[in-house]
Amino acid sequence: MIQEISGLAEVKASLYEILKRGRLSHAYLFHGVEGTAALPMLWGFLHLLFCEAKTDEGLSCGQCVSCRKIAKWIHSDVHVFPPLPHIKGGGKQAIQRQTAQYAELWRRFIRSHPYGSYENWFSFLQSELGTNLGALSVGRREIDGLLSVASLSPYEGKYTCLVIWLPEYLHHASLNALLKTVEDPPSRTLFFFVSQKPEQIPPTLYSRFQPVSIRPFTRSELVQELVKRENIDPTRAEEIAGLSSGRYTQATHLLNMEEEAPQQNRSSHPNVYNWLRTCWKGDYVELHGQSEWFQKQSLLQQQGFFFLALHLLREVLLSQAGADSLFCFPGNLHVFAVNLSKTLSHTDMIKLYQVLQDVLRHLEQHAESRLLFLDSSLKVVSIFNRTRQVHQSR
């Protein structure tokens, strides 16, 4: 429900205003970068739209039949279309079976990952189905399904709601048919796009939607949200939030990362600190071992690893620029960051930063992770070596 999302008061106020005026537009685009509350906010909005027993303050009750169905994403007037793997051939029944299976998987996914990204969804499907999926998209078949639902009258409630989660993955073959229906929608049908990359939605379609923009959380909002959902103590939440740029998924990357690497000093199980230390020593044998460990991690954990490294460097850059913000890091990582900021030149720091950014980009494109890890480690080693030579020649 909307009141369960921390902060974002101005976004909530704009949604209450829409409902108060009672004149709904037929198409809304909830958008915010990955890790913002775009989907939770729409989820909350749907509660408000369907609740049968709103409180005196105009909030959803959370108890009525509609609220309970919305909470589980099983309301018969709400249809969600996420990017899916291509369904290969098979008869009509086989396709229906598969579609139903995907729908159930998405419900499970979103209940456990309300802030989920395309990457999270992809990894989730991959581990559930255990196959190589190929790219996901909202394809022609899904849009045909959507169009046939669009023409139905609402079954239980006042509206038929069609939600496309991540419309940036719409397949071009489905655009025209969708555009036509959005331009001339059946009465009592509402379209909702929930996008993390709205700039990738074709302008002809984009322009039909009323935008609802969701900003990243403030630091204190994110702390509240982490304490509530991840069940961690406020001090830890403060640390994590300080590294997450207001984005929930970034915070959970970091949390996963910490949980994955509890033993600080085992080289077979490196954390960011050990990895950077190994690069500093130029210990290739150990790096090789670490790359094998890295390969065995999930994509999420791999990204978490480099997110943390990237954040460390960003804070070091900031501290070199005079903003002393290194306090966010615990223990030995803090010491290492301080040493790094005193040792590396600004130019070298920028180079390091770029190496890490490249890794994250390549991970997103599903590059071979072990080679990527080794390759970036070698680049980091060479930057460190140069620094050492400069210091020795002084």
Interface with Zn ion by CB under 5 A: which residues?
Answer: 51, 60-61, 64, 67
Pick the closer one to Zn ion by CB: 75 or 79: 75
State which residue, 111 or 288, has the beta carbon closest to Zn ion: 111
Please name which of 93, 136, 104, 103 lies closest in space to residue 117, comparing C-alpha atoms: 136
Smallest separation, CB 70 to Zn ion (Å): 8
Nearest approach, Cβ of residue 25 and Zn ion (Å): 23
Q: Please report how the helices 369-393 and 284-295 are oriented relative to each other, as an axis angle in degrees rounded to 10.
A: 150
* Strand order across the 27-31 sheet: 78-81, 160-165, 189-195, 27-31, 210-213
Asked if 353 and 379 count as a contact pair (C-beta separation under 8 A), the reply is: no
Question: Measured from the CB of residue 111, what is the shortest distance to Zn ion in angstroms?
Answer: 18
193 contacts 207 by C-beta, under 8 angstroms: no
Say if residues 178 and 27 touch (Cβ distance below 8 Å). Answer: no
Instruction: Label residue 273 left, alpha or beta by phi (over 0 means left) and psi (-120 to 50 means alpha).
Output: alpha
Tokens 């139903």 label which residue? 100
Length of the chain: 394
Rounded to whole angstroms, how far apart are CA atoms 192 and 209?
A: 8
Helix, strand, coil shares of the chain, percent, nearest 5, are 60, 10, 30
Shortest gap between Cβ of 59 and Zn ion (angstroms)? 9
Nearer to Zn ion, 74 or 129 (CB): 74
Q: Where are the beta strands (DSSP E) in 123-168?
A: 160-165
Compute the least distance from the CB of residue 64 to Zn ion, in Å: 3
Nearer to Zn ion, 70 or 349 (CB): 70
> Tokens representing 24?
């709904």
- Name which of 47 and 208 has its Cβ closer to Zn ion: 47
Phi/psi of residue 189, each to 5°? Answer: -110, 130
Of the two residues 51 and 279, which places its CB atom closer to Zn ion in the complex?
51
DSSP character at residue 153: P
The distance of closest approach from Cβ of residue 191 to Zn ion in the complex, given in angstroms and rounded to an integer, is: 23
Is the CB of 3 or the CB of 325 nearer to Zn ion? Answer: 3
Least distance to Zn ion from the beta carbon of 3, Å?
Answer: 12
